[in-house]
Chain A
Amino acid sequence: MTDEVAVLGAGMHPWGKWGRGFVAYGTVAARAALADAGVDWRDVGSVVGADTVRGGYPGYVAGATFAKALGWQGARVASVYAACASGAQAIATARAQLLAGLADVVLVVGADAAPKGFFRPAGGDRPDDPDWLRFRVLGATNPAYFALYARRRMAVHGDTLEDFARVKVKNAALGARNPYARYRKPVTGEDVAASPVVADPLRLLDICATSDGAAALVLSTLEYARRHGAPDPVRIRAVSTVTPTYPNTVLDLPDIATDSAAAVPPTGRAFRASIAHAAYEEAGVGPDDLSLAEVYDLSTALELQWYEDLGLCGEGEGAKLIREGTTAPGGRIPVNTSGGLASFGEAVPAQAIAQVCELTWQLRGVAGGRQVVGARVGITANQGLFGHGSSVVVVR
């Protein structure tokens, strides 16, 4: 087991379409996290930013951008990019610095101002870039991949459109109770069924939107937390940032084909399951120890997939969990108490950090109408384009 680090503060800028730049959102979230931690920005030894890629080139260097906006004070800086997993990599970087003794307290920030409509690759002719190729050759948008998984689940496991809609209904009800969520209206199964098909079989309300938003965490060593008057902080016990194992046999964005399993038979876990497994191993906990989970519901169907990949149920049993209310508030293992991407929409570099903010509030017992009673152990799960695993285990 790896040593733990403390979550001293968590902060967000509400998700939405606000018409401002990512720096403004990130600075609001950072200031909120610092205030929550009771830490003076000038005492922060390191700032780690999760990069946004808007504007057609890969990466405003987020760490330094936020450090400048907060007022240069000489902190060590790092910026990371791992698509949807950028936030987890920022947390992993901060944790490594804390455990290595390079800093006592680190500020982690992710923020995005998302364009309207489908995500698209950066401009220019780039035939060596798989993300460019899938759009050029196939027009394969992100929802197209979500839809392929959904159809596959329907064919193999017997999931129904009603099962997918149940995920949206659950998450919308929770998002309605979250002041940081973009969508705060309850949704019915009829609403989902009446929304237009985007990529058969998925409808608009099965698919997460793209949003502006920001999330930040103040992390510290346990020793710093004690000195700071936080003897029993929420703690990060594991951060999984694993890559797939060859052959990667699950078709994944942005690839046009899977690896071939002809030469090397696949052994062990498929990629998504391996992300959670690495987190469980590092934390010394298992699915039965969890109080709640925050998973990356890019689509309703994908949330059901994560139930299985987190080991909350066996393969093919995800729909049973949503039907029986197991993952709803009051169920055995509530999932996406924040309202999930269904209620937030995706603000890429902020999202994995936002998942940890929700777990932090839940484990502190301050999640209001979303509170899971007696929450002690939570896990986040997420996956970034190109093969980036992301899972964080948080305990109290």
Chain B
Amino acid sequence: MARRKAPVVARWFAGEGDAFRLLGTRCSRCGAVFFPREDDFCRNPQCGDGELSEVALSPRGRVWSFTDGRYRPPAPYVSDPELPWRPYTLIAVELEAERMVVLGQGAPGVTVADLEVGMEVEVVSGVLHEDAETTWTTWHWRPLGVRA
């Protein structure tokens, strides 16, 4: 039976292949951008009154910092305790247009040895984990020029 694909969090990202994007919201009045998305009120205290509409974040940014997880994180992170723990990479990425830093896991195979602060990376679709019925999708950061 084929698993259905579902995002780990609804409406945080969308699109396939090169069109994959993180989704935030932007205030119609002050232009503030929010990720994770704010859908009720603008959080800029000098504004607070605009309409929030969905906006795709820049697909590329530069590494602000990075690390990895050498030990299995606790729940609600999902991992199979029967399998040996395989460290994953976490990358904090600075988006120039939005002037913000967004965390994400590195694409599979990307290790801390592959990364430097300031390096250009792009957002790509990825798989967080799979269970019997569902492939849970997420976003990954991947250095430019690397193909999965």
Interface residues of A (CB under 8 A from B): 117-118, 120-121, 123, 125, 127, 130, 132-141, 144, 147-149, 151-152, 155-156, 196-202, 246-247, 249, 251, 256-264
Contact = CB atoms under 8 A, between A and B. Distances in A.
A278 B116 CA distance: 35
B92 A135 contact: no
Q: What size tier do the contact residues of chain B reach?
A: 35 or more
B97 interface: yes
Given A135-B77, A246-B43, A257 B67 contact: no
* A interface, over-half SS: loop
Contact of B117 (A132, A156, A256): A156
A144 B90 contact: yes
Contacts, number: 143
Interface in B5-43: 8-9, 27, 30-36, 43
25 contacts: A121-B76, A123-B75, A133-B9, A135-B75, A138-B77, A140-B69, A141-B71, A151-B65, A152-B117, A155-B65, A155-B116, A155-B118, A196-B70, A198-B70, A200-B68, A247-B44, A247-B99, A249-B100, A249-B101, A256-B102, A257-B35, A258-B100, A259-B43, A264-B30, A264-B44
B99 A261 contact: yes
B144 interface: no
Given A144-B67, A148-B90, A257-B36, A262 B101 contact: no
A136 B70 contact: no
A139 B65 contact: no
A249 to B, nearest CB: 8
A151 B92 CA distance: 11
Given A200-B68, A262-B99, A138 B32 contact: no
Interface string B95-108: 00111111111000
Given A257-B100, A262-B97, A149 B8 contact: no
Contacts of A197: 70
A260 B33 contact: yes
Given A135-B76, A155-B118, A262 B9 contact: no
Given A138-B104, A151-B65, A155-B117, A264 B73 contact: no
Contacts of B66: 148, 151, 200
B52 to A, nearest CB: 12
Contacts of A261: 99-100
Contacts of A136: 8, 76-78
A148 to B, nearest CB: 4
A313 B15 CA distance: 47
Contacts of B117: 151-152, 155-156
A246 B64 CA distance: 20
* B interface, over-half SS: loop
Interface of B: 8-9, 27, 30-36, 43-47, 64-71, 73-79, 88, 90, 92, 97-105, 112, 116-118, 128, 138
Given A263-B47, A264-B32, 13 more contacts: A121-B76, A133-B9, A135-B76, A136-B77, A144-B67, A152-B117, A199-B67, A200-B70, A251-B92, A258-B101, A262-B98, A263-B31, A264-B46
Nearest to A130: B36
A262 B31 contact: yes
A135 B146 CA distance: 27
Contacts of B69: 139-141, 144, 199
Contact of A260 (B32, B118, B128): B32
Contacts of B32: 247, 260, 262-264
A322 to B, nearest CB: 21
Nearest to B73: A139
B39 to A, nearest CB: 11
Contacts of B98: 260, 262
Contacts of B97: 262
Contacts of B102: 256-258
A138 B90 contact: yes
A135 B33 CA distance: 23
B35 A127 contact: no
Contacts of B73: 118, 135, 139-141
B45 A246 contact: yes
A33 to B, nearest CB: 34
